Homo-oligomer: A and B are copies of this chain.
Amino acid sequence: MSVAIENFVKAIYKNGKRDHNDTKPGNIAKELGISNAAATDMAKKLATKNLLHYEKYQELKLTNKGTKMALNVVRKHRLWEALLFKLFDMSLHDIHREAELLEHQTSDLLANKISEYLGNPKFDPHGDPIPNASGEITTIDTSIPLSNTEEGKTYTISRLMSDDKEFFDFCAQNGLKYGNSVLISKQFSKNKMTQILINNNTILLNEDFTSIIYVNEQN
């Protein structure tokens, strides 16, 4: 299976996981930076390969086979992120970009070796869960976006759901890192801003950020 196909099923998988699950060709096209026409073509083709269900004008739905393929690519991506993060001093954004390419050129054998070397980690450096070799995500995700947190409580950062360089640069500068603690100083419901205390610094985040930073409540 080609890189284009792997990326296609991966895009459907990711878009399907989101709030407003939109997996119509146009959204997948946007995700991949290709034309809508190309996405429709590919969707039809992958339907014949039993990777997804295609019905005109409807959302694209991965079959079990398609989901398995997507999870296998996601597994390799996240294992590479974890390995590069451990070995090298590189920004999360750079690590993501390298993993985006390496994920398609990695045998199952190598993926298993990386996993073993890292002690079979359950999460990558963004806090995203790493599927196991069978394509299952065994961890239960109880985390919530920062936008849904309560004033005065303290949380642990569990996921940074983004690929964006500026976002990661901002995170790196402000200690917004997987595992770190944040205290919610104030929730401004009107303009959907959130004020947090982290590393003894007070910072103010807008919804763009509070919707992609996930946390778990500390007990």
A residues contacting B by CB (< 8 A) are 84, 87-90, 94, 97-98, 101-102, 104-107, 109-110, 113-114, 117
Q: Mind listing 9 A-B residue pairs with CB under 8 Å?
A: A88-B110, A88-B117, A89-B113, A90-B109, A97-B107, A98-B105, A98-B106, A101-B106, A104-B105
Shortest A105–chain B CB gap in Å is 4
Instruction: Tell me the smallest distance from the CB of A34 to a CB of chain B, in Å.
Output: 18
Given the complex of chains A and B, what is the CA–CA distance between A98 and B105 in angstroms? 8
Identity of the chain B residue whose Cβ is nearest the Cβ of A83 in the assembled complex: B87
Q: How many copies of this chain are found per oligomer? A: 2
Query: Looking at the complex, which one of B89, B98, B101, B110 makes contact with A98 (CB distance below 8 Å)?
Result: B110
Question: Which one of A89, A90, A105 has the greatest number of beta carbons of chain B within 10 Å?
Answer: A105
Which of B88, B104, B106, B113 is within 8 Å of A88, CB to CB?
B113
Residues on the B chain within 8 Å of A114, using CB: 88
Report whether A101 and B90 are in contact in the complex, using a CB–CB cutoff of 8 Å.
no
Q: Are A107 and B117 in contact (CB under 8 A)?
A: no
Within 8 Å CB of A98, what residues of B? 105-107, 110
User: Which residue in B89, B105, B109, B110 is a CB contact (below 8 Å) of A105?
Assistant: B105
Which residues of the partner chain B approach A90 to less than 8 Å between Cβ atoms?
109-110, 113
Give the CA-CA distance A101 to B102 in the complex, in Å: 9
Measured in the bound complex, the distance between the Cα atoms of B90 and A88 in whole Å is 22
Report B-chain residues with C-beta under 8 Å of the C-beta of A101.
105-106
Cα separation A113 to B109 with both chains bound (whole Å): 23
Give every chain B residue within 8 A of A107 (Cβ-Cβ).
97-98
The answer for the CA separation of A12 and B129 in the assembled complex, in Å, is 43
